[in-house]
Structure 1
Amino acid sequence: MTAFTSVRRTAMGALTIVAGAVLVTLPAQAQNYPISGEQRATAQQVSERGIPLAELAASAPDTYTVKRGDTLWGISGMYLKRPWRWPELWGMNLKAIPNPHLIFPGQTLYLERDGGYARLSTTPRGTQSSGTETVRVSPRTRSDSLADTALPTLKPHLIEPFLVEPLVVDAQELQRAPRIVATTEDRVLMASGDRAYVRGDAASPVRQEPGEPRFFRVFRDAVPMKDPVTGEILGYEAQYLGKAELVRGESFEETPNGKGGFVSEYVPATVDLSSAKEEIRAGDRLLPAPERVFTSYTPRAPQMDVDARVVSIYASFAAAYAGQNQVVAINLGSQDGIESGHVLTLMTRGERIKDKTDSERATIKLPSEVNGTAMVFRTFDRVSYALLLEIKGGVRVGDRLVNPR
């Protein structure tokens, strides 16, 4: 075990981890952006120059040492009036923006002001740079991932449950999934710690073999997600219920038939419910649990025009409004260019009222007003999920989301 781990970033954006004699190079992540060459060149120029001094928060510190528990969104708000302009302040190019390995506890950030613009750096102004950045972080064993030390975008507890819970499927996917058929002691409702029996179909049997799923998520009722503007069905959202672990796979047993022979009888798979967000019952479906992956992203404004609508309030079947730190689905997804980390401005719908000052009581529509900010954290083809931040009033289905201002 070494006394420290050194992380070096080359000018090309790759990370090199040096831990004793172990040397591993991780290529920087890149994504395709649905923007023109002209837009890309403009964004690159702005990010290299920084942001106008007028965009800085009044109390933006000249230096700041990153601490454990900090988030990228929190630091963005510390330095900027509009936190989504963080990539420009940081001076990141478009390929580096989605890379989570940018800021670590222990780093010192330096605010540079020059020619009416500001930028952040991890080296003091005037320091010679060889194109390689070295960052000291806390002692780690070699088995730890570098992602474990990188600064998260938001407080993890706000979005971690939603990274696996929402599931958008097509109309038939859930119906083809293995289903719970019974439980021990003929219970109607099941909870965490209960044992249940599961049956697959010919195309998707539940087997306990190498390479087959062992951990599952339990879902119910794929509800259609309709575009509030066009009425078109964008996908089907399955209700997340809990987790299950496979104990035994499906099988066939030879049992006496009472006539001196044997008959082969089907035996369903056995699972233990390891957690239950809601009560589980026969008929609920199982889908393989995804591998846990490190998810981080830089808050940033989309590079294309966005005009989205709220489709639904996640996990709230009765509430008409969503508030701070709740999750909503919107009617744009990855095929529309929406990506994790995109920040959008929420607008009120603008109520229609009767003008009581008018003798004819004419109906007028009030203007839409800015109602807060939302950050996309998970995308599907035609819908995305966003966390509501800095909300002034209730958010409801049909509210608009546009490019941040």
Structure 2
Amino acid sequence: MRRIISALFVSLSTTLAVAQSAAPIELAPDAPDRHIVVQGDTLWGISSRFLRDPYRWPEVWRLNDEQVRNPHRIYPGQVIVLDRTGLGGDPQLKLGTLHKAEPRIYYQSDRDAIPAIPPNVIEPFLAQPLVIEEGALSGESRVVATDEGRVNAGQGNKLYAKGIGKPAPRLWHVYRPGTVFKDPDTEEVLGYEAIYLGDARLTREADGDEATTLEVTKGKIEIGRGDFLKVADKPELLNYAPRAPRAQIKGKIVSIYGGVGEAGQFSIVAISRGKRDGVELGHVLAISRTGQTVTNRFEDKAESTRLPDERYGLLFVFRVFEKVAYALVMESSRPVLPHDTVQTP
């Protein structure tokens, strides 16, 4: 629980150091003077109401680096006020109040705060294994047998596993390696897709060299011998402010989750850049398609012309691995395809 003194949230400090973008901040054409936060709002949705570019949220709040990673929580019932001519002439957002009131102390849980992006879309992916990095399978817990010698196991069936020590965690995810992720430009192997099969619950710890016994509590895909187990971590509350990377990041979409050929709004994609490239939680990248080269013959002379790249969408990074990151498509005016470019907007 967090203790909040409401009188202190009437406005945010304007003395915070923040790197300003060279381009002026543009408001959305129908930006309101204020917005009352309601259940179901997201930071992205509110930012889109006020700003032409929602990823410039930290700038209109004057957030420094630490506050970007741990921003002020915003709760249903609070009022966001737009100051159209804030510090330095740039617009600024502040927290206001509906009525004048005496300062008072009240309590709200962090989980009551509005999230950065729609939680129902990404929550299953915040704890599930998504990427298997090279060497990661060595020593992993593994299914060695199923209940009554079944070829495959589903919900309610038993699994027997090796590699689980004592004391053994109670809840587990079951997965297997899938498609290899390769950088489309360099052919470097970035990792392997982790195909989520289901969840299992510990029912009996191993005794000596015996196998550990588990029960399948959720089956998405049939589970068999050789499949891997990973401790089911509690999903992290994703509250990072949406923002553009400070450095130039450029990569490609390497996969669309679910094995489909194209993606749209609120689809999940994997990109060919990760921690080593400076990608962070909350980064917003633009999606574009490389312009084609067309050849025409005019006056018996062939001429080739390269068409410009076309930016057509935005994505929000919600999970980052060493060489790969997963992102949610937030805006898209055309189908998103594998090998489309993602880069700092």
Q: What's the TM-score once normalised by structure 1's chain length? A: 0.74
- Deviation of 1:320 (Å): 2.8
Structure 1 pair 10–314 and aligned structure 2 pair: CA distance change class (3 A): farther
> Structure 1 residues 287-296 or 352-361, which shifts more?
352-361
Whether contact under 8 Å (2:132, 2:177) holds in the other structure is no
Counterpart in 1 of 2:76? 105
Whether contact under 8 Å (1:51, 1:88) holds in the other structure is no
Structure 1 pair 59–340 and aligned structure 2 pair: CA distance change class (3 A): same
Whether contact under 8 Å (2:128, 2:232) holds in the other structure is no
Q: Give yes or no for the alignment of 1:155 onto 2:113.
A: no
- Deviation of 1:191 (Å): 1.7
Structure 1 pair 303–42 and aligned structure 2 pair: CA distance change class (3 A): farther
Counterpart in 2 of 1:214? 170
State the alpha-carbon separation in 1 of the partners of residues 218 and 301 from structure 2: 60
Whether contact under 8 Å (1:101, 1:150) holds in the other structure is no
SS at match of 2:203: strand
SS at match of 1:299: coil
State the alpha-carbon separation in 1 of the partners of residues 299 and 188 from structure 2: 39
Q: 1:94 aligns with which of 46, 52, 65?
A: 65
State the alpha-carbon separation in 2 of the partners of residues 170 and 84 from structure 1: 30
SS at match of 2:92: strand
Q: 1:340 aligns with which of 257, 276, 281?
A: 281
Structure 1 pair 362–70 and aligned structure 2 pair: CA distance change class (3 A): same
Structure 1 pair 166–250 and aligned structure 2 pair: CA distance change class (3 A): closer
Q: Which amino acid aligns with 1:206?
A: I
Identity within the alignment, %: 38
State the alpha-carbon separation in 1 of the partners of residues 64 and 258 from structure 2: 37
State the alpha-carbon separation in 2 of the partners of residues 45 and 367 from structure 1: 30
Whether contact under 8 Å (1:353, 1:365) holds in the other structure is yes
> Structure 1 residues 165-174 or 154-163, which shifts more?
165-174
SS at match of 2:59: helix
- Deviation of 1:305 (Å): 1.0
- Deviation of 1:324 (Å): 2.0
Whether contact under 8 Å (2:16, 2:64) holds in the other structure is no
- Deviation of 1:353 (Å): 4.5
Counterpart in 1 of 2:291? 350
Counterpart in 1 of 2:234? 291
What residue ranges of structure 1 are gaps of 5+ in the alignment? 12-40, 128-132, 141-145, 253-265
Q: Which amino acid aligns with 1:303?
A: R
Counterpart in 2 of 1:300? 243
Structure 1 pair 86–106 and aligned structure 2 pair: CA distance change class (3 A): same
Q: Deviations over 1:275-314 (max 9, x none)?
A: 1221211211112222333222110111111111112222
Whether contact under 8 Å (1:375, 1:388) holds in the other structure is yes
Q: Which amino acid aligns with 1:395?
A: V
Q: Deviations over 1:169-228 (max 9, x none)?
A: 333322532222222233222222222222x2xxxx324x43x32211111125432111
SS at match of 1:76: helix
- Deviation of 1:65 (Å): 1.5
Q: Give yes or no for the alignment of 1:118 onto 2:58.
A: no
Q: 2:4 aligns with which of 3, 7, 23?
A: 7
Q: Deviations over 1:201-259 (max 9, x none)?
A: xxxx324x43x32211111125432111001112233211111111112225xxxxxxx
Counterpart in 2 of 1:245? 201
Q: Which amino acid aligns with 1:342?
A: H
What residue ranges of structure 2 are gaps of 5+ in the alignment? 9-14
- Deviation of 1:100 (Å): 4.3
Count of matched residue positions in the alignment of Structure 1 and Structure 2: 333
Structure 1 pair 349–279 and aligned structure 2 pair: CA distance change class (3 A): farther
> Structure 1 residues 372-381 or 324-333, which shifts more?
324-333
Q: 1:393 aligns with which of 307, 318, 334?
A: 334
State the alpha-carbon separation in 2 of the partners of residues 82 and 218 from structure 1: 39
Counterpart in 1 of 2:145? 182
Q: Which amino acid aligns with 2:272?
A: N
Q: What's the TM-score once normalised by structure 2's chain length? A: 0.86
SS at match of 1:281: coil
Q: 1:322 aligns with which of 260, 263, 269?
A: 263
Whether contact under 8 Å (1:51, 1:118) holds in the other structure is no
Q: Give yes or no for the alignment of 1:44 onto 2:6.
A: no
Q: 1:78 aligns with which of 49, 52, 68?
A: 49
How well do the aligned residues superpose, as a CA RMSD in angstroms?
3.0
Whether contact under 8 Å (2:293, 2:307) holds in the other structure is yes
| Higher CA-based Rg | 1
> Structure 1 residues 100-109 or 338-347, which shifts more?
100-109
